Structure 1
């Protein structure tokens, strides 16, 4: 029922965990990480009022409208990455569920690769069984192309120079990166994920503030 409800909005369960009884999850026994259901997500989102109105933060507004409706229907609660401060520890939650840390520090998922993203986390009062965790896909990636894919070495195993990345993408020579982060695109798992190019462009333009 949960998955079918999410699929109506081109969303899916990316992972989940049984949370501790802490300040975030008191009274809740299951946490589900929710992300885009690719490749259907982009065509669905671009038909929604939050995209068509041209106002800022369209994807965040869409996610909040839809997932709040889903949470209400399921009698649960939902957290968003933009909530805060204090901000929910999404990275810690992802590492508890279905993600690993890649060689360049980005989260990696067995299905989404380096295109892993979350639209929210659903907290449910009922205990739900969760699938067994998958192995880290980086462990079987022989060449690990993500380590050397950044054209200016702004994102490497040594760290991430965000300022240099934004400056390069905003320049004429770096405009090719607007079609998608070369590091994320280099991941063999990412390449089979089905992320639409227009969606990557949307995120990259938001990243550099266009």
Structure 2
């Protein structure tokens, strides 16, 4: 199966197919596309693999995005696909909506995407838009449906997700308020609290890197 071949080839680059769907003729910008596959870090081990590569070592800005552009574009060329990215724009590609369309991502109680295997650590490095219609794995129910404790609701020290909207100023003010804040060095407490996230194998150094980028660009 073509899907399995793409999955194996992506895995060699420590990327995973985190979902996919068959676009309809009404999907803006996806006319003529039979299947859209969403790619994200394959864990455990993605961060160790990435940090050995040239984009991380060359000292230039945006190493993760540059690595993603190179690797996903290479995969697209190998499979006669169009590469799409969440970081090119404006206008930006609707990865949040695409993730929900895949049936493997859902809205969590804190209104962030939750994935069936990556939990609240789900992230996307790109997508492959293929002309053919591929058989896709079945959709997965939201892990939140069977999570009675819902620890993500209580984990944030400033309740930045209260009311269903992410309070970015409250979050950043808290993290910047003291040295070595746990969210800065280990990643968002709410994301870490998710039981599925805990089994995903994401390196703390990876979360710290992304948190630093977030803080450097937040108001």
TM-score (normalised: structure 1): 0.96
Which secondary structure does the structure 2 equivalent of 1:206 belong to?
helix
Distance in 1 between residues matched to 2:178 and 2:60, nearest whole Å:
26
1:206 matched to 2:213? The reply is yes
Match of 1:105 in 2: 111
Instruction: After the TM superposition, list the runs of 4 or more consecutive aligned residues in structure 1 that deviate by more than 3 angstroms.
Output: none
How far has the Cα of 1:156 moved from its partner?
2.9
What does residue range 1-210 of structure 1 map to in structure 2 within 5 Å? Answer: 1-21=5-25, 22-97=27-102, 98-172=104-178, 175-178=181-184, 179-209=186-216
How far has the Cα of 1:8 moved from its partner?
1.6
Q: Deviations over 1:12-65 (max 9, x none)?
A: 100000011233212210000100001111011001111001221100000000
Distance in 1 between residues matched to 2:160 and 2:18, nearest whole Å:
28
Which secondary structure does the structure 1 equivalent of 2:155 belong to?
coil
Count matched residues.
Answer: 210
How far has the Cα of 1:171 moved from its partner?
2.2
Which secondary structure does the structure 1 equivalent of 2:17 belong to?
strand
How far has the Cα of 1:174 moved from its partner?
6.8
RMSD over aligned Cα atoms: 1.3
**Gaps (5+ residues) in structure 1?**
none
